Amino acid sequence: MSHPHPELTAPPALPDNGLRVVALGGLGEVGRNMAVVETKGRLLVIDCGVLFPEDHHPGVDLILPDFTYIEDRLDDIEAIVLTHGHEDHIGAVPYLLRMKGDIPLIGSTLTLALVEAKLKEHRIKPFTMAVKEGQREKLGVFDLEFVAVNHSIPDALAVFVRTEAGTLLHTGDFKMDQLPLDGRLTDLRAFARLGEEGVDLFLTDSTNADVPGFTTPELEIAPAIDKVFRHAERRIIVACFSSHVHRVQQVLNAAEKAGRKVAMVGRSMVRNMGIAADLGYLHVPEDILVDIKRVNDMPDEEVVLICTGSQGEPMAALSRMANREHRIDVGPGDTVLLASSLIPGNENAVYRVINGLMRHGANVVHKGNAKVHVSGHASAGELLYCYNIVKPRNVMPVHGEWRHMWANSRLAIQTGVPEDHVVLAEDGVVVDLVDGKASVVGVVDCGYVYVDGSSVGGADEALLKDRRILRDEGFISCIVVIDSATGKIASGPQITARGFVEDDEIFQQVIPKVERAIEEAVANGVRDDQQLQQIVRRAVGSWVGGKIRRRPMIIPVVLQA
């Protein structure tokens, strides 16, 4: 099953007075955010992001939303609304536009600039409409109004959707920082005004719903970053998301105070910060930036490097530094600053990188030992404020793992939203708003779609299982040649094993078992190659499971001669 609700069936036809919401990603996970809103036969897509693979996705580059639900209805899509420019909200746009390149993209100036740069690499020229807070646009049956929200990237927007069937307010990712670096507050006055008008369905960011209180303002981490810069002996290497404009701004400010030059490392970092600077969202002090090629000729105590890899991504700059596979040779006296929080599921990868850097002598500063990062998401106290201001009729928590969404649902109920008006859904679950009441009405197929090299959707769970077995359990091949006339073994069995600590000689013990299994099968009239291969696989598997306590991939080859 591609969804966790076997009791649900395909949804019924949407009533004329109904508003349907189907999340194709972002519910029950942190990433891959995509919601499809439908009324009167027309569709509106809100966000289209990617999920980054974990250890149990070997060889996978990215994970996309499953577009199956809409692939036959691309002409019904009015637009794709992008709430902000993070990869988990815009990263899958090129893959959707490959299917139909003229679907309009709507977002703020910075968001569209970031996605346009991404689309350029895919050779797609999109139709775009830049919007800003307070703007209202009519798109067919959808009437959209955009609201300023504060997040860890500038120019983030919430979207209010008016339809004849009801209204929907999607917060996107947001927090209520009262001292934002760019002075752009979450517009609670607009939230209150929309609440007075009536919000029938409230889709709220759940990421920090289980964190009590309020998220720390960005401004408060500047002293901690300045302290790191004051005490650093040699080079400072800062790792953060390539789209985290606010954090890069703080690093540039700290570098200027410390009299250091800054080099950007990594294609996405250079590209995104160039875009942010050109549009005025990033203020770069004069003469502070240097090319990475000049760094080796500069005194270490005058250098700051800003790179990607804060989540332990294997191909990112920081991971390659930890593995001694990068031009930057991290060593004793260097300070590495991880200016980000851990995305759930990335903990092991991040700690591997930290251990590797510390093994080389670096001092690693991270959220666990210094106040060098604050979240971009609203904590429980801020969400309570929002529920009390908006007073929604129905609530659907989004953006988070199940524990986050469950905590968010409890907050809504505490503020007076009736429990039967709070919908906890997961990817693929269909939620209909009819006559002011939201409820689950069915489910659609919504699995993971893997980007694996140049293949999109070619990899499946069976392939990944094979890769995990090869990685964790090893490989055994067994080649046998059968005399086609007599059915007797003419050559072999020849055993080849890889990925085992045992000597090759131990595998000779399985040969008599394979010989007996084949002889018995032939005596019983079995001559088909595929049947004989299954018999060889069972014989080898039974022996290796009992003798070595492993379940390797077994490749039997039976040839007739």
Give the C-alpha separation, 349 to 55, whole Å.
Answer: 8
- 443-480 residues labelled b (16+ CB within 10 A) or e (exposed): bbebbbbbbbeeeebebeeebbeebebeeebbebbbbb
Arithmetic mean of pLDDT, 185-195:
96
CA angle, residues 472, 473, 479, in degrees to nearest 5: 140
In this structure, of 10-19, 151-160, 296-305, 410-419, the range with the lowest mean pLDDT score is: 296-305
Whole-number pLDDT of residue 55: 64
224 has a pLDDT exceeding 60: yes
Greatest mean pLDDT range, 327-331, 358-362, 370-374: 358-362
456 has a pLDDT exceeding 80: no
pLDDT band at 380; cut points 50, 70, 90: very high
Tally of residues, the chain: 561
164 has a pLDDT exceeding 60: yes
Q: Which H or E run contains 390?
A: helix 380-390
Structural tokens at position 26 = 């972002």
For residue range 286-339, what is the model confidence (pLDDT) as tens digits? 889 998 888 888 888 888 999 887 777 767 788 888 888 888 888 898 898 887
DSSP-H helix ranges across 78-121: 87-90, 93-97, 109-121
Whole-number pLDDT of residue 228: 85
Q: Is 70 left (phi over 0), alpha (psi -120 to 50) or beta?
A: alpha
Whole-number pLDDT of residue 460: 64
- For the four alpha carbons of 380, 381, 385 and 386, in that order, the dihedral sign comes to negative
DSSP string covering 313-370: -TTSHHHHHHTT-SSS---TT-EEEE-SPPPTT-HHHHHHHHHHHHHTTPEEE-TTTS
- For the four alpha carbons of 11, 13, 17 and 20, in that order, the dihedral sign comes to positive
pLDDT band at 543; cut points 50, 70, 90: confident
Q: Which H or E run contains 439?
A: strand 437-443
pTM equals 0.82
Whole-number pLDDT of residue 489: 75
pLDDT band at 1; cut points 50, 70, 90: very low
4 has a pLDDT exceeding 60: no
In this structure, of 7-16, 466-475, 551-560, the range with the lowest mean pLDDT score is: 466-475
State percent of the chain over pLDDT 90. 47
Arithmetic mean of pLDDT, 93-117:
94
State percent of the chain over pLDDT 70. 91
Arithmetic mean of pLDDT, 195-216:
95
Give the C-alpha separation, 534 to 480, whole Å.
Answer: 12
DSSP-H helix ranges across 154-243: 188-197, 222-231
Collect all residues with Cβ–Cβ distance below 8 Å to 223 and sequence separation of at least 6. none
- CATH numbers and ranges of domains, the chain: 18-213+376-453 (3.60.15.10), 218-365 (3.40.50.10710), 473-560 (3.10.20.580)
Structural tokens at position 527 = 């001559």
423 has a pLDDT exceeding 80: yes
Q: Which among 184, 152, 206 has a CA at the least distance from the CA of 382? A: 206
Find out whether 46 and 34 touch, Cβ atoms under 8 Å. yes
Give the C-alpha separation, 432 to 39, whole Å.
Answer: 10
CA-to-CA separations, 548 to 270, 374, 492, 507, 510, in angstroms, rounded? 50, 48, 22, 10, 12
What number of other Cβ atoms are within 10 A of residue 13's Cβ? 6
Collect all residues with Cβ–Cβ distance below 8 Å to 297 and sequence separation of at least 6. none
Amino acid in the structure at residue 138: K
Whole-number pLDDT of residue 300: 86
Distance of CA 161 to the CA centre of its chain: 26
Work out the mean pLDDT of the chain and round it to a whole number: 86
Strands of the sheet containing 489-498, edge to edge, are: 489-498, 475-482, 553-560
pLDDT band at 243; cut points 50, 70, 90: confident
For residue range 465-507, what is the model confidence (pLDDT) as tens digits? 766 766 777 777 888 888 777 777 777 788 878 777 677 778 7
Give the C-alpha separation, 113 to 455, whole Å.
Answer: 26
pLDDT band at 128; cut points 50, 70, 90: very high
In this structure, of 11-15, 244-248, 270-274, 312-316, the range with the lowest mean pLDDT score is: 312-316
Q: Which residue has the tokens 């995990």?
A: 468
446 has a pLDDT exceeding 60: yes
Which residue did the predictor score with more confidence, 116 or 477? 116
Q: Which among 108, 543, 559 has a CA at the least distance from the CA of 551? A: 543
Whole-number pLDDT of residue 457: 62
